[in-house]
Amino acid sequence: MKSPNAFSALLDIYISPSKAFNGVEHAKGWSWLAFIAISLVSMASIYIFYSTVDMQFLINEQFAAASVDATIGEQKMIRQSIEQNAGIQVWISMISIVLGTAIIAAIMAVYYMLIAKLDPESEHSYGAWYGFTIWTIMPNIVLNLGTIALVLSASTDQISQTAVFNFDSINQLVVGLEPGSAFYTLLESLKLSSLWGIGLGMVGLKCWTNFSTNKALLFSALPTLVIFGIWAIIAAM
């Protein structure tokens, strides 16, 4: 079974990901639609947040997070920088999220292409693996729709940026560390949407290669395991 068209794949990636990956495998241009969808929803969440939030509250929150270990002189420079860029933060954030998605996909596509060489029958191009990676990032749409819902349903304009953009992080959901803790940033960066993406990567590798389920899961999770493993060691030192 495979998705008959790109629009069906946008839905199937959530309810029947194997159908989506089977459809995407030899299709042309489908992944561009997925990239555009991710970008538009991501930019919408950022725009709605900045259009709603009390900017002075946001500046204070960003300053508090950035100046935990700073000296008095450094604190003045940090606050000045944040205040000077306050007016263009929304545009910087929107451009950054689109470029960041494209760059991450480019790096991960190289990884998947190299991993796929372990399967002699896999002959997918770099472009195909780039598209593959985009589809594994599709949980970001759900994440950003959640952010939009949280912002629009807030009873005040003093909305925590971390709370609405990282609401699915392990730190927000389980641990509850405060800024300044050694593992705070690590656990804020480890999200359920990222784990969902690993699951999609496993399904996709199963569809595109002859890897076993265990091997597909290992290869899909390996970059995250390595990055967060090294990060945890550094944080613990």
Query: How much is the pLDDT for 68?
Result: 66
Q: How far apart are CA 173 and CA 182, in angstroms?
A: 18
Q: Which amino acid is at 122?
A: S
Q: Which amino acid is at 128?
A: A
Model confidence over 91-142: pLDDT tens digits? 999 999 999 999 999 999 999 999 999 998 888 999 999 999 999 999 999 9
- Per-residue pLDDT, averaged over 164-193, amounts to 89
Q: How confident is the model at residue 145 (pLDDT cuts 50, 70, 90)?
A: very high
Is 187 in contact with 82 (CB distance < 8 Å)? no
Model confidence over 63-95: pLDDT tens digits? 887 776 667 777 788 888 888 887 888 999 999
Q: How confident is the model at residue 200 (pLDDT cuts 50, 70, 90)?
A: very high
**Among candidates 62, 196, 223, 73, which has minimal Cα distance to 136?**
196
Indicate whether 163 pLDDT > 70.
Answer: yes
Long-range contacts of 145-149 (CB under 8 A, 24+ apart): 145/41, 145/45, 147/45, 147/49, 148/44, 148/45, 148/48
Q: Which helix (H) or strand (E) holds 53?
A: none
Q: Tokens 């730190």 sit at which residue? A: 171
Is 6 in contact with 30 (CB distance < 8 Å)? yes
Model confidence over 25-78: pLDDT tens digits? 988 889 999 999 999 999 999 999 999 998 888 888 888 877 766 677 777 888
Query: How much is the pLDDT for 235?
Result: 85
Query: How much is the pLDDT for 102?
Result: 96
Q: How confident is the model at residue 217 (pLDDT cuts 50, 70, 90)?
A: very high
Q: Tokens 């760059």 sit at which residue? A: 103
